[in-house]
Amino acid sequence: MKKVLILALLLISTVSFAQTISGKAYYQSKTTVDTDQFGGGEMSEEMKKQIMERMKSFLEKTYILTFSGSESIYKEQEKLEAGSGFGGMGAMMGSFSAGAQYKNLKTNQILEEREFFGKKFLINDTITNLEWEVGKESKQIGQYLAIKATAVKKIDPNDFEMARPRGRRGERGRNRDAEEDSEKVADTTQTESEDPFDQIEIPKQVIVTAWFTPQIPVANGPGEYAGLPGLILELNVERTTILCSKITLNTKETESIEAPNKGEEVTRAEYNKIIKEKMEEMREQFRGRGGRGGGRGRFGGF
């Protein structure tokens, strides 16, 4: 209870002082992949390397968080074609295209541009308020002292953007012997059907680890994340790490931030439902072809 009270007081002072701060934070995002999952462990190292190179465009990205007072917008700096030549899984990964993410900490609103199979959506929802637990651990990130905070984030069962390869559940090696036995059977099935949906799962919850700096009293961070008494400089979610590489501050003039307004407006729950229905339709089409020819673009649009 004492920790919650201290965090609340810090947030109040942070929000008040943040009204005079604006600037930009540059982030590098990198997602790691367990290459041992490719081909049931029988794929050559050269083939794994080729696959990782093809996946690089959606595993490594650069973003800019522009913040001013209680408002911010988070955009990808450079966009490349993702999933090229990576079969059904690549087609699925490449079909999700994230646009600008706008947050208003004062009204607790988040607006996110999304494109799915050529159709544009505008998700209008509230910011997910995680129950952060601030610890005593700290480290230096660049010239800033960063403090560690963790939270548990519950995942919508229809949130396919949080899908991960099936078979590895968090800690490496957990139940590995049992998994290896089951994989021998699963590999045969996947070879015959090559159904990409059999290769993924959606976790019920994930651990979020953030490193924030009180030296920049802005209760903001990359993407949807916020709510700490200082700018988030590093974020770890599952196999994805987002690290701030550069910060420019301006305490004299505020920068104008425009909220995105393109696309069909939906709530996050409505968007996830649309994705689920489309995924089910794609799977039925895939099964109807006997699991063959799952190349990108054959699933059809809206």
Ranked by mean pLDDT, the top range of 70-84, 210-224, 267-281 is 210-224
SS3 (DSSP) at 288: helix
- CB-based contact 82:225 (threshold 8 Å): no
Least reliable range by pLDDT among 21-30, 145-154, 271-280: 271-280
* pLDDT score, position 163: 75
Binned at pLDDT 50, 70 and 90, residue 294 comes out as very low
Binned at pLDDT 50, 70 and 90, residue 76 comes out as very high
Least reliable range by pLDDT among 16-30, 221-235, 287-301: 287-301
Higher pLDDT: 199 or 241? It is 241
* pLDDT score, position 82: 46
The whole-angstrom separation of Cα 206 and Cα 68 is 30
* β pairing state of 109-116 and 119-126: antiparallel
* pLDDT score, position 171: 40
* pLDDT score, position 175: 39
From 94, 103, 30, select the one nearest 69 (Cα to Cα). Answer: 103
State the amino acid at position 132 in one-letter form: W
* pLDDT score, position 109: 96
* pLDDT score, position 31: 87
Read off φ and ψ for residue 274, nearest 5 degrees. -60, -45
* pLDDT score, position 219: 96
pTM of this prediction? 0.75
Least reliable range by pLDDT among 100-114, 257-271, 279-293: 279-293
pLDDT in tens, 202-237: 889 999 999 999 999 999 999 999 999 999 999 999
- CB-based contact 115:99 (threshold 8 Å): yes
Higher pLDDT: 183 or 242? It is 242
Binned at pLDDT 50, 70 and 90, residue 112 comes out as very high
* pLDDT score, position 36: 62
* pLDDT score, position 188: 42
> Count of CB atoms within 10 A of residue 229's CB?
26
Read off φ and ψ for residue 200, nearest 5 degrees. -125, 160
Q: Is the pLDDT of residue 143 over 70?
A: yes
Q: Is the pLDDT of residue 278 over 80?
A: yes
The whole-angstrom separation of Cα 230 and Cα 247 is 13
Q: Is the pLDDT of residue 94 over 60?
A: no
- Angle at CA 282, nearest 5°, toward 261 and 224? 35
* pLDDT score, position 85: 45
Beta strands in the chain (DSSP E): 22-31, 60-68, 71-76, 96-104, 109-116, 119-126, 133-141, 144-154, 164-165, 200-201, 205-213, 231-237, 240-250, 264-266
* pLDDT score, position 282: 82
Q: Is the pLDDT of residue 20 over 90?
A: no
